[in-house]
Structure 1
Amino acid sequence: MNPLQRTLIEKAGHDNGFEYVLPGDAEHAALASARHPARVRVAVVEQGYEVRIDTGSPTLAQELARTFVTSLADANSFVLPSEALLAHWLRRAAALSQALPNQAVTAFEHQVQAELAQLAPPVAQNTEVLRMVRQRIGQQAYRQAMLDYWGGACAVTGLALAPVLRASHAKPWAVCDSDAERLDVFNGLLLAAHLDALFDQFLLSFDEQGRVLFSPELNTASCAVLGLSPAMRLRWMAPEHQPYLSYHRQRFMAGH
């Protein structure tokens, strides 16, 4: 790797979520960030660039493989033919690393403690105030994590219009057993507002293959008005989605 190639890689990292350069070797540029746990090494190869994930979420490589080509020799390595694709990979890896469990929970706890520190002790210790702060910050953190995970687009339609997208829970916030469940990006979907309303009321769900299920309450006329089609399905589904969607599907089949 010559100095110009190293400089281009380090700049791509800095501009796309990997602002730190770590000690590396002559063949690799090592990149990291203070905002997420992923660390990667980039090498220049005949095909362009090869990026290897050294540390990060156990599911990071699996999620990236939906979009990028992995190396035949290593599922944690990706071959990227151009600098533009390298930048795209780094940006997507950084977004996913901030969304995947349990980074969202860690960021949430830091935000809660920072906000409580600004309140006078009697107020900060009030149980109701604490509950409201945690819920408000938690919902904001969950929405951001869902936007990061789904690439800012509806999980079904691909609509990329953030103001009309909602972070929907499959297992509702109120019945989750922990903040880890509440903030788990696999516990729900990023949906266009009309799909979110139906999903939230258990009038719409998804089977184990991600195909849409409609409640009998949604007749043909209602589906037509809402633009719903039996051909609708999730853009993708990870194994980690299955337990939460199974819970949602049971509520859906029970009629809420």
Structure 2
Amino acid sequence: MNPLQRALIEKGGNDNGFEYVLASEQSGVMLASARHLTRVMIVLENGAYQAHFQAASPTLLLELQRSFPQQGVESGRFTFDTETALAVLLRRAASLSRALPDQAATDYQHAVTAELAEFSAGIIGTEVERLVRQRVGQNKFRSAMLDYWGNACAVTGITIPAVLRASHTKPWVECASDAERLDVFNGFLLSSNLDALFDSFLISFDENGRLIIAPALIGKDLLLLGIVAEMKLRWVTPKHQSYLVMHRARLLKKDYLKS
């Protein structure tokens, strides 16, 4: 690896979520970030860039293998022919690393601590503290969902930020812990119409991500809402499934005709 190639890798890391260079040697470049715990060693082999990830969460490698099925190999190694393709991988890895458990929950705790420090100690345990925690948590959850879903609706692919909502599968108030509330797999990034229906248990998704529609929604309503039966999630993982089982049960249980 010559100096120009090392410089291009370092710039690619800085521009795509890996702003720190931990090592830059003839054998390769080690990149890291202050915003997440993932590290990646980039080496050049037979004219191709190989990215070897040291991931804080094993889920990261599974998600990257889903996103880059042709480039991923065992032991967290991904191979790309160009600097542009490598940049796409690094950007996706950084986004996932910020979103996946437990990074979002860690960021939430730091943000809450910083905000509460600006108030007097007397607010601990009060409604003010609860509201601070809820506001910060919802902002962190939305940020994580935007990172995970690539700033696009999990169903339609719409990329207009103003109409995207971070929708919980298990409602915020029913979650047993902050980790569950901030779990990126406990919800989907949805356009506002889908979010309103999902939040009200009027739609859900089956184990393959296909749309389930409550009987209360008649054809005319669906047409006006822009909902078609063929809709499905762009992807769904095993970690979504336990939450979706609960959500589908709520949809089937609720008596919408009397509500």
TM-score, normalised with respect to structure 1? 0.96
- Partner amino acid, structure 1, of 2:45: V
Give, as a single letter, the amino acid of the residue that structure 2 aligns with 1:246.
V
Structure 1 match to 2:173 = 174
In structure 1, the residue matched to 2:159 is 160
1:69–1:79: 8 Å Cα contact kept in structure 2? no
Who is 1:149 aligned against?
A: 148
Q: Aligned letter for 2:146?
A: L
After TM superposition, the structure 1 stretch with the greater mean CA deviation from structure 2, 94-103 or 81-90, is: 81-90
Which residue of structure 2 aligns with residue 109 of structure 1?
109
Bigger mean CA deviation after superposition, 192-201 or 126-135: 126-135
> 2:130 is matched with which residue?
131
C-alpha deviation, 1:46, in angstroms: 2.8
- What is the alpha-carbon distance in structure 2 between the residues aligned to residue 159 and residue 72 of structure 1? 27
Question: Any idea what SS the aligned residue of 2:44 has?
Answer: strand
TM-aligned CA deviation for residue 138 of structure 1: 0.3
- Cα distance in 2 for partners of 1:38, 1:70 equals 22
Q: 1:93 corresponds to which residue?
A: 93
TM-superposed CA distance for 1:73, in Å, is 4.9
1:70 and 1:76 in contact (8 A); partners too? no
Deviation of 1:27 after TM superposition, in Å, equals 1.7
**Residues matched between the structures, number:** 255
Which residue of structure 1 aligns with residue 202 of structure 2? Answer: 203
Match for residue 255 of structure 1? 254
Q: Aligned partners of 1:224 and 1:75: how far apart in 2?
A: 47
Q: Deviations along 1:35-71, whole A, 9 cap, x unmatched? A: 1010001111335311111232111111112222455
Letter in 1 for 2:148: Y
Aligned equivalent of 1:238: 237
- 1:185 corresponds in structure 2 to 184
1:129-151 CA-to-partner distances (Å, cap 9, x unmatched) read 11111101000000000000000
Is the contact made by 2:21 and 2:32 (CA closer than 8 Å) also made in structure 1? yes
In structure 1, runs of 5+ residues without a counterpart are none
Inter-partner Cα distance in structure 2 for 1:156 and 1:234 = 5
Question: In structure 1, the residue corresponding to 2:227 is in which secondary structure?
Answer: coil
- How far apart are the structure 1 equivalents of 2:5 and 2:72? 24
Deviations, residues 68-110 of structure 1 (Å, cap 9, x unaligned): 2455752511111211111111111111100000100000000
Contact 2:72 2:79 in 1 (8 A): no
Deviation (angstroms), 1:28: 1.5
Classify 1:73/1:181 alpha carbon distance in 2 versus 1 (closer, same or farther; 3 Å).
closer
1:69, 1:78 within 8 Å by CA — same for their partners in 2?
no
Matching residue of 1:43: 43
Q: How does the TM-score come out when normalised to structure 2?
A: 0.94
1:68-79 equivalences in 2 (<5 Å): 68-69=68-69, 73-79=73-79
Is the 8 Å Cα contact of residues 48 and 80 (structure 1) preserved in structure 2? Answer: yes
Which residue number corresponds to residue 17 of structure 2? 17
Moved more, 15-24 or 68-77: 68-77
Alpha-carbon RMSD across the aligned residues, in angstroms, is: 1.4
On the 8 A contact 2:137/2:182 being kept in 1, the answer is yes
Q: Distance in 1 between matches of 2:71 and 2:193?
A: 40
Tell me how far apart the structure 1 counterparts of residues 204 and 140 of structure 2 sit (CA, whole Å): 24
SS at match of 1:209: coil
Q: For structure 2, list consecutive stretches of 5 or more residues without a partner in the other structure.
A: none
C-alpha distance after superposition, 1:213-249 (max 9, x if no partner): 0000111111111121111100001110000011101
Whether 1:80 aligns to 2:80 is yes
Q: Percent identity?
A: 53
Report the equivalent of 1:32: 32
